[in-house]
Amino acid sequence: MSEECKAETALDILVGKWKPVILFHIFHKGTLRFSELQRLIPEISKKMLTTQLRELEYHDIIHRKVYAQVPPKVEYSITEYGKSIAPLMNSMHEWGLAHVKHLQEIYGEEALEKRSK
Amino acid sequence: MSEECKAETALDILVGKWKPVILFHIFHKGTLRFSELQRLIPEISKKMLTTQLRELEYHDIIHRKVYAQVPPKVEYSITEYGKSIAPLMNSMHEWGLAHVKHLQEIYGEEALEKRSK
DNA sequence: CCGGATCCTTTCTGATACTG
DNA sequence: CAGTATCAGAAAGGATCCGG
């Protein structure tokens, strides 16, 4: 790998089982608090949310603003640079939609859930 | 998740630590045998290569052609449908390249390897 | 209220040996 | 040659407790 295929780099950043959803919500609402994200994504654990946000922050995709106050308040937003993945996210979204249909055509409606890969 | 963000679907398919490289090679050469892939990607284990290929096959991205002969011969190639991810792969590749540069600008050359995410 | 630190369970990978 | 089977180690994810 390495040289030839930097698609991996992109994937590394988007991967993590929750980053797409997190990004989706932050993109959509502009700015969100930690607790708001928890509410929007009930299935995610605190730990996961924390680590995923940290990774996105490290990659300069989102910005983390801490308000020095009690009770604490932390807001997450897309960075200027972070906006550059929007087109890519959309492309993936589009392709994903089309692919779901394609799988249906091949395997039929039932096999949808199995995800046996 | 689910409804809103089908980017996950796309990610599911491309993710697997080796799929991007595998696809890269198959795209590049058109058709490859199992052993050729092993040689092109020395770090991958047989097991991994097998499972990754099977997943790609399930998703109708690649085709698996078995020759009934001794010694066995199996060739993998991109399906017609599979070609539809090419643009997406390229987009990811492009963005990945740009992102590596961006990270360098932020953290400097040294921090490249750390990948502490 | 936000999220760090720990512990524990589950899933994923890798190495090795074996088969048609 | 192209896998499958098995087993062990690593990594990812979840649950819980704690502190500012």
The pLDDT of B65-86, averaged and rounded, is: 95
**If you measure CA to CA, which chain B residue comes closest to A22?**
B1
Give the pLDDT score at B80: 97
**Residues of B in Cβ contact (< 8 Å) with A92:** 6-7, 10-11, 88
Alpha-carbon torsion, ordered A58, B96, B64, B83, to 10 deg: 130
Q: CB contacts < 8 Å between A and B, how many?
A: 125
Residue B34: pLDDT band with limits 50, 70, 90: very high
Give the pLDDT score at A117: 43
- Nucleic strand D within 7 A of Cβ A71: yes
Higher-confidence residue of B89 and B112: namely B89
Give the pLDDT score at A70: 80
Residues 38-97 of B with CB under 7 A from strand D: 46-47, 50, 53, 64, 71-74
- The proportion of chain B whose per-residue pLDDT surpasses 90, expressed as a percent, equals 61
Give the pLDDT score at A5: 67
Give the pLDDT score at A60: 94
Give the pLDDT score at A62: 95
Residue B1: pLDDT band with limits 50, 70, 90: very low
Tens-place pLDDT, residues B47-65: 999 999 999 999 999 999 9
Residue B81 contacts A, CB cutoff 8 Å: yes
For chain A, list residues with pLDDT below 50.
1-3, 114-117
Give the pLDDT score at B117: 42
- The CATH T-level fold of domain B7-82 is Arc Repressor Mutant, subunit A (1.10.10)
B92 closest CB neighbour out of A7, A94, A115: A7
Instruction: Specify which residues A65 forms β-bridges with.
Output: A75
* CB-CB contact of B99 with B93 (8 Å): no
A106 closest CB neighbour out of B5, B21, B60: B60
**If you measure CA to CA, which chain B residue comes closest to A1?**
B21
**If you measure CA to CA, which chain B residue comes closest to A114?**
B58
What does the block give as tokens for B80?
Answer: 């017609």
- Nucleic strand D within 7 A of Cβ A16: yes
Place of tokens 């990811």: B92
Could you give the CA distance from residue A24 to residue A78 in angstroms, rounded to a whole number? 10
Is residue B87 within a helix (H) or strand (E), and if so which, with residue range?
helix B86-107
Domain ranges of chain B: 7-82
**Residues of B in Cβ contact (< 8 Å) with A43:** 1
Give the pLDDT score at A11: 78
Tens-place pLDDT, residues B91-108: 988 998 899 899 999 988
